[in-house]
């Protein structure tokens, strides 16, 4: 990481490396402090220099490299200070725009808002819990949780791996329901009119008004509106976890469920034209496979035809 920081400060990092650097700095207070300390060393080493006549470029650069010596090899690059400044301005400005657009992790007062937009992203919360947001999901949480509980708000779908703390429960506001846990892992899909909760480990409490149900590993509930009573049942497949593991696990899973997840994951419009195919069971696992490979397996397994018509993919 020292080598990457040196390239970043020198303005020689690629856009991808700059983005990696910014993410690393933002991931923890310890990383931010380390970067700030090295920035001070950089300035003291006079690599950029405030007086171009007085600066010995090579000596200053060697001094800086000596300050961050580690066991990892360092790639040494020498250049004029004015090129360094220009490169840093251009690269940092461009990378900052890309970072804000792609990750949309913004602060408003004491609240942090993370928006996944068109990609799956993972975020670590102040309590070290890890959240994976599916595409288009949004998570809001305070920069520092209070002493009594950990509150967040969710729009869309996310997988939660919550760090255990019996004295400070974790509470997710997901539309018309709240989900309360101590330390567990589970998936929430909060739509406009329905909320689905599936538990992978531990115990999860789902609360709607005065109603409370407790879900344990392998159980789920789907809540539509405020009228119907909340009910729990067994989760029949592992497809809910596809965006976290990059794996579609079908265990006696009907074809229509797989098609729904494929449409979400690949932003496609797959249509099951032959009704008899909808509930055909599948026992197969796809990991990081292309759609063409998946269709080839489905064709051979279910003896179906795949026809592409414009933006539609027809299964018949």
| Banded pLDDT at 159 (limits 50, 70, 90) | very high
Q: Is 32 left (phi over 0), alpha (psi -120 to 50) or beta?
A: alpha
Domains for the chain: give ranges and CATH numbers. 2-103 (no CATH), 108-234 (2.60.120.1440), 239-315 (3.55.50.30)
| Banded pLDDT at 165 (limits 50, 70, 90) | very high
What is the predicted pLDDT for the residue at 107? 54
Max avg pLDDT among 32-36, 66-70, 200-204: 200-204
**What average pLDDT score do residues 73-93 get?**
46
DSSP-derived secondary structure for 274-288: SGGGTT-EEEEEEES
Question: pLDDT tens digit string along 67-78?
Answer: 444 434 333 333
Taking 60 as the threshold, does the pLDDT of residue 90 lie above it? no
Q: Rounded to an integer, what distance in angstroms lies between the CA atom of residue 176 and that of residue 159?
A: 19
Q: Is residue 119 within 8 Å of residue 135, measured between CB atoms?
A: yes
Tell me which H or E stretch contains 6. helix 2-10
Taking 80 as the threshold, does the pLDDT of residue 47 lie above it? no
**What average pLDDT score do residues 91-106 get?**
51
Question: In the predicted model, what is the mean pLDDT of the chain?
Answer: 79
**What average pLDDT score do residues 14-30 get?**
70
Taking 80 as the threshold, does the pLDDT of residue 20 lie above it? no
Q: Is residue 302 within 8 Å of residue 280, measured between CB atoms?
A: yes
| Banded pLDDT at 43 (limits 50, 70, 90) | low
**What average pLDDT score do residues 121-140 get?**
94
Q: Taking the CA of residue 23 as centre, how many other CA atoms within 13 Å lie in the half-sphere pointing to its CB?
A: 15
Q: Parallel, antiparallel, or unpaired for β 306-309 and 281-287?
A: unpaired
Residues 6+ apart with CB under 8 A from 242: 248, 249, 261, 265
What is the percent of the chain where pLDDT is above 70? 70
């Amino acid at each position: 990481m020292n080598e990457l920081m040196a390239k970043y400060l020198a303005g020689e990092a690629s856009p991808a490396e700059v983005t990696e650097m910014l993410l690393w700095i933002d991931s923890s207070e310890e990383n931010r402090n380390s970067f700030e300390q090295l920035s001070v060393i950089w300035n003291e080493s006079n690599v950029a220099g405030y007086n171009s006549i007085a600066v010995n470029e090579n000596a200053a650069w060697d001094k800086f490299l000596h300050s961050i010596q580690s066991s990892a090899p360092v790639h040494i690059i020498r250049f004029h200070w004015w090129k360094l400044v220009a490169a840093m301005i251009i690269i940092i400005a461009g990378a900052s725009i890309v970072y804000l657009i792609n990750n949309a992790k913004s602060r408003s007062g004491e609240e942090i808002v993370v928006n996944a937009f068109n990609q799956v992203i993972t975020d670590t919360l102040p309590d070290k819990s890890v959240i994976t947001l599916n595409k288009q999901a949004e998570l809001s949480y305070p920069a520092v949780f209070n002493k009594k509980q950990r509150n967040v708000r969710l729009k869309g779908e996310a997988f939660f791996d919550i760090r255990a703390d019996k004295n400070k429960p974790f509470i997710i506001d997901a539309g018309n329901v709240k989900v309360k846990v101590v330390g567990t892992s589970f998936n929430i899909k909060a739509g406009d009119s329905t909320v689905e909760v599936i538990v992978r480990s531990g115990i999860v409490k789902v609360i709607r008004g005065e109603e409370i149900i407790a879900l344990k590993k392998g159980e789920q509930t789907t809540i539509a509106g405020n009228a119907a009573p909340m009910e729990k049942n067994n989760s029949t497949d592992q497809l809910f976890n596809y965006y976290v593991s990059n794996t579609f696990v079908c265990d006696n899973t009907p074809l229509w469920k797989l098609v729904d997840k494929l449409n979400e994951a690949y932003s496609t419009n797959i249509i099951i034209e032959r009704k008899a195919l909808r509930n055909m069971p599948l026992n197969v696992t796809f990991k990081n496979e292309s759609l063409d490979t998946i269709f080839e397996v489905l064709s051979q397994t279910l003896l179906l035809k795949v026809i592409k018509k414009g933006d539609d993919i027809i299964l018949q």
